[in-house]
């Protein structure tokens, strides 16, 4: 058994002081506020202890685009060309090295579960690897090495896009994303290894990349697992869907059985009032990725309105141009303030709930410091230049990922004193990214 003591913690009941925390078998066994400070044998946590963060939407390989896409302006769609070019350079070995480093960066940022929206399935040209899940298994290994849990959201991706005349064929670079049929996709997903610390979920890339009939089949095939889908990130998706199908992307998903409480709609940026009602009534989770939505000039989604309509909220680092769930939480609130001209659109505990939505990734027993829950902890320092003087109860409105001192996943310390157990994570990132761009 492990016994820890924190001067401050964010518990389900709210901010607390002098908390004695006991862990056994990877789970919290007791959490006692207002405890007498223990003797020297007990580990004292530094700063404010809070539940581990859930990164509900990641494309690990996009990390290699960070700081490389800003010359010459461009659009979401020119960014996508750069992303496809990067995807064409991936293989199971270099993807393992890159994802291991990216997931270690996430662990340093307090992320204890990552939801990986995974669509680079096959070799260039669409040829399956000897192990048809070689890329997914590389991601499982990477998460295991980096010490966090993984929900592999294996993505159905069958069409090259959508315009007013219908779906477009896959281009050369997109071929490796596709299993050709929804049945082949479901069958391959069924072959993914079950490994400790991993959950296999499902994803529909978008209404651009999957036709309505295939959406219905994919939703059915996902059974009781998490089902994620990109939704209305850019107005162009809405225009094309409206022009060809005469309805919104949300309405298409609704009609084809893809909106349930196990669904996460990623971005949900450009929604009609009806869309918001439909998503709320279906009790979906809406995953906001504010730093990506800023970077790609997507817009500001209706977070408060979705929550008021009954949707739950989660947060994702998406393209990993920034890996900082505290920053995402703050940007969720900041976007609301800018759009509404009102402060305090989300309370600090609501922002923490969005940053710890492990249930949307199939881990309903994580996300709270409470007996019986998985023993994930993030300890945020209160003595840095950014956090000194802040009220511990409002630390999410002051801190950044750089202020995180220690991270525990399932009762195991993965980050201690601001250092990851793998060592020099910046070096791992630099090596992995350098290799990918070596011949460019």
Active site residues: 267, 318
Measured at CB, which residue is nearest to Zn ion?
318
Residue 60: partners with Cβ closer than 8 Å, 6 or more residues away: 95, 98, 99, 102, 103, 114, 116, 139, 142, 320
Between 293 and 410, name the residue whose CB sits nearer to Zn ion: 293
Q: What are phi and psi of 95, to 5 degrees?
A: -70, -40
CB 254 within 8 A of CB 212: no
Do residues 222 and 151 make contact, with C-beta atoms less than 8 angstroms apart?
no
At closest approach, how far in Å is the CB of 116 from Zn ion?
10
Q: Cα dist. 172→63, 125, 166 in Å?
A: 23, 7, 19
- Ramachandran angles phi, psi of 168, nearest 5°: -100, 150
> Which helix (DSSP H) or strand (DSSP E) does residue 303 occupy?
helix 303-309
Query: What mask, x for binding Zn ion by CB under 5 A, covers residues 311 to 330?
Result: -------x------------
End-to-end CA distance of the chain: 51
Question: In the complex with Zn ion, which residue's Cβ is closer, 287 or 404?
Answer: 287
Cβ-based nearer residue to Zn ion, 135 or 379: 135
For the bound state, the minimum distance from the C-beta of residue 395 to Zn ion, rounded and expressed in Å, comes to 28
Applying the rule CB under 5 A, the residues between 92 and 121 that interact with Zn ion are none
**CB-nearer residue toward Zn ion: 275 or 318:** 318
- With a CB cutoff of 8 Å and minimum separation 6, the contacts of 358 are 52, 54, 112, 113, 364, 366, 367
Tokens 């060592």 correspond to what residue? 423
Nearer to Zn ion, 76 or 427 (CB): 76
Q: Please state the closest distance from residue 318 (CB atom) to Zn ion, in A.
A: 5
Taking the complex as a whole, the smallest distance from the CB of residue 437 to Zn ion amounts, in Å, to 21
Least Cβ distance, residue 21 to Zn ion (angstroms): 35
Q: Which is nearer to Zn ion, 298 or 405 (CB)?
A: 298
Spatial contact of 264 and 284, defined as CB atoms under 8 Å apart: yes
* CA separation for the pair 237, 397 (Å, rounded): 33
In the bound state with Zn ion, the residue whose beta carbon lies nearer, of 318 and 333, is 318
Judged by CB under 5 A, the chain residues 248 through 307 that form the site for Zn ion are none
181 close to 189: Cβ distance less than 8 angstroms = no
Near Zn ion in 203-232, by CB under 5 A:
none
Give 254 or 318: the residue with its C-beta nearer to Zn ion.
Answer: 318
* Nearest distance in Å: CB 120, Zn ion: 13
Residue 288 near residue 360, CB atoms below 8 Å: no
Min. distance of Cβ 219 from Zn ion in angstroms? Answer: 18
Q: Which of 301, 351, 357, 313 is nearest to 330 (CA)?
A: 351
DSSP string computed for 89-139? T--HHHHHHHHHHHHHHHHHTTEEEEEEEE---SSGGGPPPSSTTHHHHHH
Q: Residue 151 CB, nearest distance to Zn ion (Å)?
A: 14
**Quick one: CA dihedral 152, 154, 160, 164, positive or negative?**
negative
**Measured between alpha carbons, how far is 301 from 214 in angstroms, rounded to an integer?**
27
Q: How far is the CB of 256 from Zn ion (least distance, A)?
A: 20
Residues 6+ apart with CB under 8 A from 410: 26, 27, 149, 197, 374, 375, 376
Complex with Zn ion: residue 318 or 376, whichever CB lies closer: 318
How many residues bind Zn ion, per CB under 5 A? 1
- Interface residues with Zn ion (CB under 5 A)? 318
């Amino acid at each position: 058994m492990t016994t820890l003591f924190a001067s401050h913690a964010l518990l389900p009941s709210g901010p607390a002081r002098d908390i004695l925390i006991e862990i056994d078998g990877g789970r919290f066994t007791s959490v006692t506020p207002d405890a007498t400070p223990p003797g020297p044998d007990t580990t004292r946590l530094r700063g404010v202890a809070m539940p581990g963060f859930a990164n509900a939407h990641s494309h690990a390989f996009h990390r290699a685009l960070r700081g490389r896409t800003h010359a010459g302006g461009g659009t979401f769609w020119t960014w996508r060309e750069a992303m496809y070019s990067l995807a064409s350079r991936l293989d199971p070995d270099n993807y393992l090295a890159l994802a291991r480093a990216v997931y270690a960066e996430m662990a340093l940022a307090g992320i204890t579960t990552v939801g990986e929206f995974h669509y680079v399935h096959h070799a260039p040209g669409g040829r399956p690897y000897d192990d048809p899940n070689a890329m997914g298994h590389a991601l499982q290994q990477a998460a295991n090495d980096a010490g966090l849990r993984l929900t592999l959201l294996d993505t159905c991706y069958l069409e090259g896009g959508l315009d007013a005349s219908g779906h477009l064929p896959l281009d050369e670079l997109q071929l490796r994303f596709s299993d050709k049929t929804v049945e082949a996709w479901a069958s391959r997903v069924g072959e993914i290894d079950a490994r400790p610390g991993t959950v296999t979920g499902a994803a529909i890339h978008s209404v651009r990349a999957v036709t309505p009939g295939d959406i219905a089949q994919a939703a059915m095939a996902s059974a009781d697992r998490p089902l994620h889908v990109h939704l209305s990130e850019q107005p162009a998706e809405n225009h094309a869907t409206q022009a060809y199908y005469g309805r919104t992307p949300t309405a298409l998903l609704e009609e084809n059985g893809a909106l349930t409480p196990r669904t996460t709609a990623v971005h949900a940026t450009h929604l009609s009032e009806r869309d918001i009602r439909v998503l709320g009534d279906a009790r979906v989770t809406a995953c906001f990725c504010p730093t990506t939505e800023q970077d790609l000039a997507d817009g500001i989604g209706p977070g408060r309105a979705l929550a008021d309509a009954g949707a739950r909220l989660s947060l994702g680092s998406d393209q990993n141009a920034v890996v900082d769930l505290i920053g995402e939480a703050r940007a969720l609130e900041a976007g609301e303030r800018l759009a509404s001209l009102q402060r305090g659109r989300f309370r600090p505990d609501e922002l923490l709930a969005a940053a710890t939505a492990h249930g949307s990734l199939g881990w309903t027993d994580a996300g709270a410091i409470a007996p019986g829950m998985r023993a994930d902890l993030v300890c945020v320092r209160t003595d840095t230049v950014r956090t000194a003087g802040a009220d511990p109860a409002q630390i999410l409105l002051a801190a950044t990922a750089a202020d995180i001192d220690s991270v525990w996943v399932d009762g195991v310390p993965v980050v201690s004193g601001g250092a990851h157990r793998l060592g020099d994570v910046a070096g791992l990132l630099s090596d992995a990214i350098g290799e990918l761009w070596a011949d460019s």
